[in-house]
Amino acid sequence: MAGMSYALDFERPLLELEKKIEELKTLSHTGAMDFGAEISKLEKKAARLQQEIFSELTRWQVVQLSRHPSRPYFLDYLGHLFTDFFELAGDRHFAEDASIVGGFARFEGLPVMVIGHQKGRGTKENMLRNFGMPRPEGYRKARRLMELAERFGKPILTFVDTPGAYPGIGAEERGQAEAIAVNLEVMCRLKVPIISTVIGEGGSGGALAIGVGNRILMLENSIYSVISPEACSSILYRDPTRAERAAESLKLTAKDLLGIKIIDELVPEPPGGAHRDPARATAHLGKALKRHLSELRAMSPEQLVQHRYLRFRALGSFAGR
């Protein structure tokens, strides 16, 4: 996976057209010939094509975008939206888990706690980050950091981007279910503002373990689901190749979840997805975070706890009283 060169099938026609435009531009620059008219025609075509491809993405296409290897990861946003980052490591029990990164930093000058899942780019980093799949130590580190933030009255901003919890022997032996469960309860009673943003994949319990916020935001092409489309397809259709259909059934896109009021805001991405213009994606995210944080900072500690309680207590869809 060589970063920017990776292209999804449905992106390819657009990327090829853009490559052609670049070539013509280079030729024009060298002065050999003037392709001005041709270029502007192709640019219009590219804009139209982009509109066509990205205005009606299927849910499976959104799943693919959410996992795009060139998509900005937590540390990319961290580098641009925050200053003064001081990383904190380890769960103080067993290990440091690099699939969750956290520490104090400044957001718009204000000291906050930032915590996020981190995927790797390339094989080596992915080994270190375990493809963004936390082990129990990751959740326990996150909990330690969140309690630390509360002790110092700092707001907590979490960034969710994980395929899910890691299904391994060690993770079970060291109680990953307990680690996730404790985080849910702890997050429910923390007396500081919590904003959780899904920036890529929101994979089940591994995502929720840092996702119990007063606000839940999602980037436009991110997903949040109880189970991956692949696993869902294996279990329900006994056929892992029907993930596309499972993705449709699960209704897991930001648009879906805004529609059923699970999330508070859909943060728009630039045309073609965050990876096509990371700077703009970052700017949109920063603006949304700033607004929500200032709203939450107006609330008292008791109000924050009550607000979070009511927010999650209300979630569900059933008949009768």
Minimum CB distance to another protein, residue 28 (Å): 50
Q: Which two tokens stand for residue 74?
A: 């937590």
Q: Name the one range near another protein by CB under 8 A: 20-28, 64-72, 103-111, 202-210.
A: 202-210
Residue 175 contacts another protein per CB under 8 A: yes
Comparing CB distances to another protein, the nearer of 46 and 252 is 252
Q: Residue 213: name the closest of 287, 264, 266, 275 by CA.
A: 264
Minimum CB distance to another protein, residue 231 (Å): 8
Mode of pairing for the β-strands spanning 223-225 and 194-203 = parallel
> Which residue in the set 90, 178, 294, 301 belongs to the binding site for another protein (CB under 8 A)?
178
* Alpha carbon separation from 39 to 8, 125, 144, 275 (Å, rounded): 25, 39, 55, 24
Residue 124 contacts another protein per CB under 8 A: no
Q: Which two tokens stand for residue 88?
A: 């904190």
Residue 173 contacts another protein per CB under 8 A: yes
Q: Which two tokens stand for residue 166?
A: 């890691």
> Which residue in the set 250, 254, 288, 304 belongs to the binding site for another protein (CB under 8 A)?
250
Q: Residue 90: name the closest of 131, 133, 136, 128 by CA.
A: 136
For residue 4, give every residue at least 6 positions away whose Cβ sits within 8 Å of its Cβ, in sequence order, or none: 70
The one-character DSSP state at 268 is P
Minimum CB distance to another protein, residue 116 (Å): 18
Residue 283 contacts another protein per CB under 8 A: no
Comparing CB distances to another protein, the nearer of 249 and 282 is 249
Element (H, E) at 68: none
- Of residues 35 through 54, those in contact with another protein by CB under 8 A are none
The answer to whether the CB of 255 falls within 8 A of the CB of 266 is yes
Neighbour-count burial for 13-28, b at 16+ CB within 10 Å, e otherwise:
ebeebbeebeebeeee
Residue 171 contacts another protein per CB under 8 A: yes
Minimum CB distance to another protein, residue 152 (Å): 21
User: One symbol per residue from 251 to 280: x for binding another protein (CB under 8 A), - otherwise; what is it?
Assistant: xx----x--x-x------------------
The backbone region for 166, taken as left when phi is positive above 0, alpha when psi lies in -120 to 50, beta otherwise, is beta
Residue 235 contacts another protein per CB under 8 A: yes
Minimum CB distance to another protein, residue 41 (Å): 44
Residue 172 contacts another protein per CB under 8 A: yes
Interacting residue ranges for another protein, rule: CB under 8 A: 165, 167-169, 171-178, 180-182, 184-185, 188-189, 204-205, 208, 211-212, 224-227, 231-232, 235-237, 249-252, 257, 260, 262, 308-309, 312-313, 315-321
